[in-house]
Amino acid sequence: MTQATARAYPNIALVKYWGKANEDLILPAAGSMSMTLDDFATTTTVTLDETDSFSLNGAEQGEAGASRVIAFLDLVRNFARTAGLDTADQNARVVSVNEGPTAAGMASSASGFAALAVAASSAYGLELSIRDLSRLARRGSGSASRSLVDRFAVWHAGDDQSSYAEEIPAPDMAMIAVPVATGQKAVSSRKGMVATATTSPFYPAWVTSTEEILKEMIGACKDSDFTLVGEIAETHAMRMHAVIAASRPSIRYLSPTSLEVFDRIAQLRADGIETYGTADAGPNVFAITRPEHAEVVSERLRDLTKDGEAKVLRPGRGAHLVGDDAL
């Protein structure tokens, strides 16, 4: 096969990944846990070609915009070489479209590299298990390892072999996307993490407490304890933004409107509609609630969004081939 198309969805972490143990292999300093979404898909087509090129959302990318994707193709070619495939010497054209905002804290790097891992490995003729696809996607963007997985995922800290994501059972829930600003963030996740790890005095405590909280989260998921899952998720998100803010110079991803959303979520709880909040490295907030409350929560948060729309999201599918390739 010389061409393949894949689709992947972003995932939103309930226990966050923020910091690497190994920058080259993208090994996380601690494990994390997430829900794969069922909206804001990335669709990526990889076609073997004379040269490497990358088009994102209809815009041809120059050297800077394409470098991460080309480095990823090099990795796939290395695997193809090891597997003895004669595709290993070929270049590729990558065409990708994100239905959600790019580089705005809504996990475009997760859906982007998960889709690319599935499409590129297929175009180059590699036959990889979901586990190996998760390990491969991890090398593009750490959070992408989790978008290979259906519904809820734990991404293990470990070495190159053992650091992959796999599905875990969790209480049924919905997320409500509350986009407050969808422009590109000033500091990418990649750079923000390095700044935090090297300058934030709270970073060691962040890493050890994340390991502890992940264990607690896995237990809460096993027990199907929605309340505990929600409490842990909101606390852990706030801890991440705190450790980031303590960097020097300080980095802040949340905006005043993001904080208003967290206040509104607390108000919903006070009104008996159990809802919790989380936010990745950006100002956009995701509310977590029981499925039966999703519509009312969306209604109560809508006026704080950029365009008056707060989409209800449900647990979604891991990255997969689409079209003829999926047969």
Query: Contact residues for ligand DP6 (CB under 6 A)?
Result: 13, 16-18, 26, 32, 107, 109, 141-143, 189-190, 193, 280-281
Of 226 and 286, which CB lies nearer to Co ion in the complex structure? 286
**Least distance in Å: CB of 172 to ligand ADP?**
26
| Full 3-state SS string of 260-326 | HHHHHHHHHHHCCCCEEEEECCCCCEEEEECHHHHHHHHHHHHHHCCCCCCCEECCCCCCEECHHHH
Q: Centre a 10 Å sphere on the Cβ of residue 78 and count the other Cβ atoms it contains.
A: 11
Let me know: does 41 contact 147? Beta carbons within 8 Å: no
- Residues near ligand ADP, by CB under 6 A: 42, 56, 68-69, 96, 98, 102-110, 112-113, 116, 141, 188-189, 280-282
**Least distance in Å: CB of 142 to ligand DP6?**
3
Q: Centre a 10 Å sphere on the Cβ of residue 311 and count the other Cβ atoms it contains.
A: 17
Non-local (6+) Cβ contacts of 84 within 8 A are: none
Residue 103 binding result from ligand DP6, ligand ADP, Co ion, none, given CB thresholds of 5 to 8 Å by partner type: ligand ADP
Q: Which residue has the tokens 């707060």?
A: 310
Of 71 and 205, which CB lies nearer to ligand DP6 in the complex structure? 71
Dist CA 48 CA 252 (whole Å)? 41
Q: Is 5 in the site for Co ion (CB under 5 A)?
A: no
Of 70 and 273, which CB lies nearer to ligand DP6 in the complex structure? 70
Residue 142 binding result from Co ion, ligand DP6, ligand ADP, none, given CB thresholds of 5 to 8 Å by partner type: ligand DP6
Residue 26 binding result from ligand ADP, ligand DP6, Co ion, none, given CB thresholds of 5 to 8 Å by partner type: ligand DP6
Q: Which stretch binds Co ion (CB under 5 A): 21-29, 104-112, 155-163, 216-224?
A: 104-112
Buried b (16+ CB within 10 A) or exposed e, 248-270: eeebebbbebbebbbebbeebbe
Token pair in block for residue 122: 């297929």
Interface with Co ion by CB under 5 A: which residues? 109, 189
